[in-house]
Amino acid sequence: MQGNGRAGQEKLIDLHGLHVTEAIHVLKRDLAMLRSVARSADQHLQVYICVGTGHHTRGTRTPARLPVAVQRYLLEEEGLDYSEPQPGLLRVRLY
């Protein structure tokens, strides 16, 4: 996880290149930590999640599994809406 932007109010979680199970584990851990930081500082955090676009997925006809799995996790498990400012990059806002 990396900080960037305005006084550390933007963070990056880079899941690119991880397998789905590894990525979900990292995402769950990092989101919990960042939620805690945001609440203790009583501020919003914008978090970018790099999932890639599947260019390295084996087989040319195999769709990328990571972006779909992360999107599903964000919505169903974390209850977070996300946007996709560019392909392979998701953005969520934590309170």
- pLDDT tens track for 25-70: 999 999 999 999 999 999 999 999 999 986 655 555 667 899 999 9
Q: Are 57 and 50 in contact (CB under 8 A)?
A: no
Q: How confident is the model at residue 3 (pLDDT cuts 50, 70, 90)?
A: low
Q: What is the mean pLDDT of the segment spanning 76-84? A: 96
Give the pTM. 0.85
- Provide φ and ψ at 27, rounded to 5°: -60, -45
Report the pLDDT value the prediction gives residue 4, as an integer from 0 to 100.
52
Please tell me which residue, 8 or 85, carries the higher pLDDT value.
85
13, β-bridge pairs: 49
